[in-house]
Amino acid sequence: MPDKFLFRPVLLACLIVSIGQLSVGLLFPSLPWIAQEFQLPAEQVQLLISIYLLGFGPSQLLYGPLSDSLGRKPILLIGLLLAVLGLTVSVVGAAQFEWLLAGRFIQGLGAGCCAVLARASIRDSYSAGHLTQALTWLAMVASICPIIAPVIGGFINHHFGWLAVFVVLLSYVALVWLIFVVIFKETLAKRKSIQSPKVMLKQYKQLAGSAYFVSFSAIGWLNYGLVVVAISLMPFVMQVEIGMSSDQYAMWSLLPTCGLLVGGMICNRFRPRIGTEKMLKFAPLIQVTAGMWLILCPLTPFAVMSGQFLMIVANGVAFPCAQSQLLLPYKDNAGAVAALSGACQMVFASLLSMGLMSLGIANAWHLGVLLLVAAALSYTLISLGFRSHSEHRNRVQNVVGGVHEN
C-alpha cells in the first residue's frame, strides 16, 4: 500500500513561499499611483520591483548552505525578521522615494530565505514518490500569489492608498514570523558542518557547470521571468491604455489566476501517464499559442487577459515538472541547489524586466513576441536537460563526494 501523502509540510512551505511572491505582486497596481505622487516616469518606479528582486536573488546563495548546516527554522526566522525591518523602513520613510527603495532592497535580502527554505523543506519531507506532487502544490502557490496579489493590492490601493499596501504586507510578514516561531518544526534530519566560503563557491561552481542543473533551473528562470514581465506590464496596459481603474484591473486579474489552476490540474493528471519529459514539452506549445494570440488579438480586457491566461497555464505545467526533476537527485544538499537556482531565477527576472522596460516594452503584442522566443528557448532547454541525464548522475556523485572530502 503506498505511503499516505502528508499535507502539513507542503502547507507550511506554501505559507513560506507566499511571502516572497506577495511582496512582488501586491505592489503592482500601486505603481502608476506612486509614479503620479512622486512625479516619476514608469521605468523609475519599476525599480521598486527590480531592486527587491536584486536583494531577493543573491541572498539565497547564503541562506541555502547555512540552512543545510544550521537547520531550516533558525535561518527562516532570521530572514523573515530582516524582511520585517525592510518593510518598516519603507513605511516610516514613505515620504521619500529613496527610502522606499532602500526598504524594498532590505526586504528582498530578508525574503530571499523564503524560496530556498520552502523548496528545501519540501525536499526534506517527501520521498521521490510524493516529491512531484508536493512541488506541484508549491509551484501553484508560488505562481498564483504574484497573480492574485494584484487583486488584493488593487482593492487596498483603491480604497486606502498605496502606503496601505506596505502596511498590510508588513503586518502579514510579522504574523507569519510569529506563526513559524510556534508551529514550524525542523525538517532537516542530517546537518552538515558549516562550510567555508571557498567550499560554498566550489560547490556552486560545480553545479553551474552541470548541463543538467542549468537546463532544468533555466526552465524555471524563464517561466518566472515571463510572469514578472507580464504582471509588470499589464497594470499599464489595462489602466493606462484601456483606461480602467485599479479595482477594475484587480477583478480582471482573476482570469490569469484560473490559468494556473488549470495548468496544475493538467500536470497532476497527465504527468504520471505520459512522463515528465512529454509533459514539459507540452508547455512550449501553449506558450506559442499564447504568443500568437497576444500579437493578433484586439485591445480589449478579455482578449488581453485571455493571452495571459494561456501563458500562466504553460507556467503551471512547466514549473513543477522542472523543479521536481531538478531537486530529485539532490537530497543531501537541497538547500544549496534551491539557493543557486532561486538566486539565478530572481536575478534573471529582475534583469529581464528592467531590460525590457528600458527598451520600451509597453504593449500586449510585445509580450506575445517574447512568448514566442521563450517557447523556442524552453523546448531547447528541455531537450538538453534530458539528454544530459546520464551525465548528470555521474556529476552529482563527484559534486557530493568533493564536498564531503572538504
Summarize pLDDT for 143-160 with one digit per residue, the tens: 677 667 877 888 888 889
- Structural domain range at position 345: 10-183+203-405
Q: Given pLDDT bands bounded at 50, 70 and 90, which one contains residue 23?
A: confident
- Is residue 228 situated within a structural domain? yes
Find the mean pLDDT for residues 114-135: 76
Find the mean pLDDT for residues 384-392: 73
- Long-range pairs, 98-105, Cβ under 8 A, ≥24: 100/34, 100/48, 101/47, 101/48, 101/51, 104/48, 104/51, 104/52, 104/55, 105/51, 105/52, 105/54, 105/55
Burial 388-398 (b: 16+ CB within 10 A, else e): beeebeebbee
- Please report, for the chain, how many H helices and E strands are present, in that order: 17, 0
Q: How far is CA 88 from CA 169, 170, 180, 263, 358, in A?
A: 10, 7, 20, 37, 30
Closest CA to 18 of 86, 80, 87: 80
- Is residue 194 situated within a structural domain? no
Highest-confidence range of 58-67, 131-140, 146-155, 167-176, by mean pLDDT? 167-176
Which residues are within 8 A (CB) of 243 and not within 5 positions of it... i.e. 6 or more apart?
none
| The pLDDT of residue 380 | 94
What does pLDDT average to over the chain?
Answer: 82
- Is residue 79 situated within a structural domain? yes
How many domains, the chain? 1
Contact (CB, 8 A) for 259 and 313: yes
SS3 255: helix
- Checking if the pLDDT of 400 tops 50, the result is no
- Is residue 381 situated within a structural domain? yes
- Checking if the pLDDT of 192 tops 60, the result is yes
Cα 313 from chain centre: 15
Higher-pLDDT residue of 32, 404: 32
Cα within 13 Å of Cα(11), Cβ side: 8
- Residue 169: give its domain's CATH number: 1.20.1250.20
Q: Given pLDDT bands bounded at 50, 70 and 90, which one contains residue 329?
A: confident
| The pLDDT of residue 5 | 67
- Is residue 289 situated within a structural domain? yes
Strand residues in 95-149 grouped as ranges (E): none
Q: For residue range 233-287, what is the model confidence (pLDDT) as tens digits? A: 887 788 777 877 766 776 787 787 778 778 878 887 888 788 888 999 999 999 9
How far, in Å, CA of 41 to CA of 47, rounded?
Answer: 11
| The pLDDT of residue 403 | 45
Contact (CB, 8 A) for 405 and 327: no
- Is residue 197 situated within a structural domain? no
- Checking if the pLDDT of 1 tops 60, the result is no
- Is residue 150 situated within a structural domain? yes
Highest-confidence range of 21-35, 239-253, 359-373, by mean pLDDT? 359-373
Find the mean pLDDT for residues 373-380: 94
- Checking if the pLDDT of 389 tops 80, the result is no
Q: Given pLDDT bands bounded at 50, 70 and 90, which one contains residue 175?
A: very high
- Is residue 191 situated within a structural domain? no
Closest CA to 38 of 88, 93, 96, 92: 96
Find the mean pLDDT for residues 119-138: 74
Which residues are within 8 A (CB) of 299 and not within 5 positions of it... i.e. 6 or more apart?
241, 242, 364
- Angle, helices 211-236/364-387, rounded to nearest 10 degrees: 170
Query: What radius of gyration, in Å, describes the C-alpha atoms of the chain?
Result: 20
Task: Identify residue 286 by its one-letter amino acid code.
Answer: I
Find the mean pLDDT for residues 18-26: 83
Burial 300-329 (b: 16+ CB within 10 A, else e): ebeebbbbbbbbbbbbbbbbbbbbbbbbbb
Cα 262 from chain centre: 18
Torsions phi, psi of 195, nearest 5? -85, 150
